[in-house]
Structure 1
Amino acid sequence: MGAQFSQFFPPRPSFTEADFESQSGNVFIVTGGSSGIGYELVKKLYQKGGNVYIAGRSEDKARAAIREIESAVSTGGKLNFLFLELDDLSSIKASVEEFKKKEKKLNVLWHNAGVSQPPLGSVSKQGYELQLATNCLGPFLLTKLLLPLLERVVWTSSQIVELSAPKGGLVMSELSTPPRDRTRNYINSKTGNLLLAAELARRFGQSHGIISVAVNPGAANTDLFRHTPWMPYVAWPLLYTAEKASNSQFYAGLSSDITAENNGCYIIPWGRISQSMRKDLVDATKQIGDGGTGRAEGFWEFCEEHTKAYV
């Protein structure tokens, strides 16, 4: 329980924007970068000279964020808007092609965007449970299409996985037949992010030199609670600012502590490599031949099957 307590009440961040060098010449995509944790991340990357793409469905919100950041930061890199609808698999390839017209590399892709507990029965354009689609299937397809350009990928998970996921991480039958429980479906999607991070590292870490990690950025009062407006009032003693939570994302995406040796690791607030994840979740990230349960491999194959028509 001590490990969970330290995530609820983390020590001061040891890695902030003051700890990394100029990002001039580096290219980043931050999904959901027009608000919340993503906004703070974009702001600091821009301040360090990065070429940053805010990826999302609303150009108006992204342009407003860009104006705010440019007016608040005297000198910086470059800010761009990239149209992206994660809940519409048929649109993602066009977004990637648009990005490839402008850039030949991608230093870090932050899967920061997400949806939490929308109204029961909410589905994506292709009819998938909305949280599974937006938090897992869309990011999976986006990552696959960007693989030739990628250096590092950060998948946003949550402490709720360690606290509430069923033993083994995922009940695979719930992916095809989602339970009538929006919280359980959210937990499944965040568990999926954890598993995809580990499986991407296993499949492409050595062969392609890609670093892939999952992160619990920490509890922050952001638009993620728009479908549960009561939550900030209940959880306010445990909620922090989006700016503070962005330190976890910084560390996951930029820290030199993360190498080929610990590829696939799990980052906890405000930028630490977890050493005490639940054993059944660790086992879920490993193949059966390596003493694990193969759950990450199975979830990857599920995502591959359900996105192959859009590659």
Structure 2
Amino acid sequence: MGGIITQMWPPKPAFTEKNLGDLSGKIYIVTGSNTGVGKELAQILYSKNATVYVAARSQAKATEAIEDIRAAFPTSTGRLEFLALDLSDLSAVARSAKEFITRETKLDVLFNNAGVMHPPQGSKTKQGYELQLGVNNLGHLLFTELLTPLLATTAASYSATSPNTVRVVWVSSLYSEMGSPKGGFDPENMGFTKKEQSTYYKYSVSKAGVYYQAAEYAKRYKDKGIISLAVNPGNLRSDLQRYGGQGLLHKINQKVVLFPAINGAYSELFCGLSPEVTAEKSGSYAIPWGRLAKIREDIEKGSKSAKEGGTGLGKIWYDWCLDQVEPFMH
């Protein structure tokens, strides 16, 4: 593993807004950037004159976030744009991706930051999938696949001047290592249709799945010049804990174990913009607050094919997810 202790209590971030140059002309999408880590990340990018799409379900919350960020950086020459994105409805996800393509001709980095954690047992998406699987995995996979042609043309236009800068960042979690079964998921219980599990188990599986999506996407689109990374952003005080309960342990965790959301933004910023992340590092796993590391050994093995000495579980996961979203890709 990437060291559970060092992930829970990381050293200070080494890649922050201080390491960024002018981002004028750059275009980013940050899903779930109306609050928490995503909002902090959008603010950093906008402060350096980038165009940032605040992709969120609630226009009211997104508008409020946009106004907050503009007020914090009144001299920025960047743009903040709202993009309607409901990851719990695959039809809406497809509409969102298509809308972005009509509005922009390039995309530098897609930050798949949004997520849902421990919702009430039985929560489902519009299409009937378990909510965490539907949002954390299926919604983001469909969104990414539909935006891939635009990412690829952007990378091609940069190949001579700015290689290694077009990226997809997939937000995983420490739970991918701490709460998932061997291999990250049970291939006999895809979609949790054969056996019910706790919401904690399903969240952990969804985040192991996010790692597999990042690793497999890296392989499939390597020749397109797109870099793909998964990241544990850290244990953070954010809106992700909205279903987390109100017990004593939860309250202690909020004070002791969890860090400010800005730290998670640094984890994602490292993956999306650090020059340390080169094409050779595509498919890697990053840990707080922006360091490349190894994920749990059995999960890393799953990202490799049998020929590479692995188990091929990552391909199984990706193919299953792709089958679920394929009807919405046309």
Q: TM-score when scaled to structure 2?
A: 0.91
CA contact (8 A) 2:93 2:142 kept: yes
What's the CA shift for 1:179?
2.2
Contact 1:196 / 1:300 at 8 angstroms: preserved in 2? Answer: yes
Q: Which residue of 188, 193, 218 maps to 1:201?
A: 218
Matching residue's letter, 2:28: F
Q: How many residues align?
A: 309
Asked if the contact 1:232/1:239 (under 8 Å) is kept, the reply is no
Find 1:273's aligned residue among 283, 292, 314: 292
Find the counterpart in structure 2 of residue 138 from structure 1.
139
**1:128-158 CA deviation, whole Å, 9 max, x = no partner?**
0000000000000000000011221000000
Give the match for residue 229 of structure 1.
245
2:158 is matched with which residue?
Answer: none
The aligned counterpart of 2:229 is 213
Following the alignment from structure 2 to structure 1, what is the Cα–Cα distance between the partners of residues 273 and 44?
A: 12
Bigger Cα displacement from structure 2, 214-223 vs 2-11: 2-11
Distance between the aligned counterparts of 1:301 and 1:293, measured in 2? Answer: 15
Give the alignment of 1:10-21 within 5 angstroms: 10-21=10-21
- Structure 2, unpaired ranges of 5+: 152-165
Distance 2:210 2:48 in 1: 28
Match of 1:309 in 2: 327
In 2, distance between residues paired with 1:47 and 1:216?
24
Residue equivalent to 1:296? 314
The answer to whether the Cα contact below 8 Å between 2:176 and 2:206 also exists between their aligned partners in 1 is no
| Paired letter, 1:196 | Q
The Cα of 1:100 is off from its aligned counterpart by 1.0
Query: SS at 2:34's partner residue?
Result: coil
Alpha carbons 1:197, 1:214 under 8 Å: kept: yes
- 2:53 is paired with a residue whose SS is strand
Cα distance between partner residues in 2 of 1:273 and 1:137 = 25
Q: Retained in 1: the 8 A contact 2:234–2:264?
A: yes
Q: Name the counterpart of 1:117.
A: 118
Match of 1:31 in 2: 31
C-alpha distance in 1 between matches for 2:233 and 2:284: 14
| Distance apart, 1:164 and its partner CA | 2.2
What CA distance in whole angstroms lies between the structure 2 residues aligned with 1:163 and 1:234?
A: 19
Distance 1:279 1:229 in 2: 31
| Alpha carbons of structure 1 residues 232 and 37: separation in structure 2 relative to 1, 3 Å | farther
Contact 1:25–1:51 (8 Å) recurs in 2: yes
Q: Distance in 1 between matches of 2:2 and 2:25?
A: 41
For 2:100, the equivalent position in structure 1 comes to: 99
Q: Structure 1 runs of 4+ off > 6 angstroms?
A: none
Secondary structure of 1:54's match?
A: strand
Whether contact under 8 Å (2:179, 2:200) holds in the other structure is no
Aligned residues of 1:225 and 1:232 also touching (Cα < 8 A): no
1:173 has 2:188 as partner: yes
| CA distance in 2: counterparts of 1:184 and 1:116, whole angstroms | 11
Deviation at 1:188, TM superposition (A): 0.9
In 1, the alpha carbon distance for the partners of 2:250 and 2:100 equals 36
User: What's the % identity of the aligned pairs?
Assistant: 43
